[in-house]
Amino acid sequence: MRSMTGFGKAQIINKNIELEIEIRSVNSRYLDISVRLPNTISAYEMPVREKIKEKVIRGKVTIYANLKKALSVESGVFLDNAKIQERFNQIKSVKELLKIDEDIKISHLLAMGDLFEIDLDKLDENEILDIIIKTLNQALDSFNSMRDSEGNHILKDMLERNNTIAKLLSIVEKKSKLNVQQAFDRQLENVKNLIAQDKIDQDRLNMEIALIADRVDITEECVRMHSHIKLFEVTCNQKGESGKKLNFILQEMLREANTMNSKTNDIEVSHIVIKIKEEIEKLREQAQNIE
C-alpha cells in the first residue's frame, strides 16, 4: 500500500553541471502532473512526464528542477563578452557618479551571476536527457520510499479498524437474533390483547406476526457486511493501485450499516451500529490518502 502524499529530492553533478530535482505530491482523484523546469531544459518536459507516469498512479504531483551554473568553459559555460563590457561600463558610471576612487575589480563583475550562462549546445541532447532522467529516477526512488513508509502506517491503522468493525458486527449478530424473537413475541402479545382468544386463527396469526418480525431481521445485511470486511482486508494487502477499490468497498459497508440501523428497533444494537459507522467513516478518510 502506498500513500499519495510524499516528497523526494535528488542532486547530480555531471561535467560541473549541477541538476537538482524535487518531487512533491498531495491527494487527487486522478494523476495530475505539474512540471516546472528552467527555460534552458524546458524542452525536456515530455520525457519527465512520461517517467513520472511510470512510477506514479494517482495524486497531484509537482516537479521542481534547478539547473545551477558551472564555472569552467570546458564544462559548457561561456562568457558573454558584450554583457561583461556592458556591466563594466555600468559599474564605471556609478563609480564616476559617486566619485569613488576604488578601482574596478574582477570580484565586482563576478558578483553579477548573469554574466555566466550554461551553454547546453556544447552537450549532446542525449547526454542532457541522461542527466535529467538519472536525477529524476533518484528523486522518484526517494519520493516512493517516503510514500511506501507512510502507506505502511495507514495500512496498519486500516486493518485494525477493519478488525474492530468485524468484532462489533459479531456482537450485533448475536443481539439481533434475540431481537427478532422478542419482536415476534411482542407483536403476538399485542394482537392477543386486542382480539378475543376464541376468534384467533393461531396459524394465520403466527404467519402474519412472523412477517412483521422479519422486517427487523438484519441477518442478510450482516452476511454481506462480513463479505465486505473480508474483501477490504484482501484488497489492503494487494500490491498496486487499491485506493479507488477500497473507497467502493467502504461505500457498500456504509450502505449495509445504514440498512441495519433503519431495520433494528433495539436501541443497544443501534448504538453498536453507530460505532461501526464511525469506524467506516474513519476508514474512508484514510482511503482518500491511498494511491
53: domain CATH number is 3.30.230.10
Task: Specify whether 66 is located in the same domain as 85.
Answer: no
- As a residue count, the chain comes to 291
Q: 138 in a domain, yes or no?
A: yes
Residue 116 bridge partners (DSSP): 79
Task: Specify whether 161 is located in the same domain as 271.
Answer: yes
Task: Specify whether 55 is located in the same domain as 25.
Answer: yes
Helices (H), the chain: 45-55, 81-97, 106-110, 125-194, 202-214, 219-236, 243-263, 267-287
| Cα–Cα dist 56/52, whole Å | 6
pLDDT digit string (tens) for the chain, length 291 residues: 899 999 999 998 876 678 899 999 999 888 999 999 988 888 899 999 999 999 999 999 999 998 875 544 444 444 557 777 877 888 888 878 888 888 887 777 666 655 555 555 566 778 888 889 999 999 999 999 999 999 999 999 999 999 999 999 999 988 877 665 566 566 656 666 656 555 566 666 566 555 565 566 788 899 999 999 999 999 998 887 888 999 999 999 999 999 988 888 788 889 999 999 999 999 999 998 998
Residue 48: what pLDDT? 95
Task: Specify whether 37 is located in the same domain as 140.
Answer: yes
89 is in which domain, residue-wise?
77-116
Q: 130 in a domain, yes or no?
A: yes
Q: Nearest to residue 61, comparing CAs of 103, 23, 107?
A: 23
The domain total for the chain is 3
Task: Specify whether 109 is located in the same domain as 207.
Answer: no
Q: 1 in a domain, yes or no?
A: no
Grid coordinates in use for 101?
Answer: 576612487
Task: Specify whether 195 is located in the same domain as 233.
Answer: yes
Task: Specify whether 81 is located in the same domain as 145.
Answer: no
Task: Specify whether 138 is located in the same domain as 39.
Answer: yes
Q: 177 in a domain, yes or no?
A: yes
Q: 15 in a domain, yes or no?
A: yes
Residue 285: what pLDDT? 92
Task: Specify whether 139 is located in the same domain as 109.
Answer: no
Residue 271: what pLDDT? 93
Task: Specify whether 140 is located in the same domain as 159.
Answer: no
Task: Specify whether 212 is located in the same domain as 267.
Answer: yes
Q: 46 in a domain, yes or no?
A: yes
Q: 224 in a domain, yes or no?
A: yes
Quick check: 232 and 249 in contact, CB under 8 A? yes
The torsion angles phi and psi of 240, rounded to 5 degrees, stand at 90, -165
Task: Specify whether 143 is located in the same domain as 27.
Answer: yes
Grid coordinates in use for 76?
Answer: 559548457
Q: 95 in a domain, yes or no?
A: yes
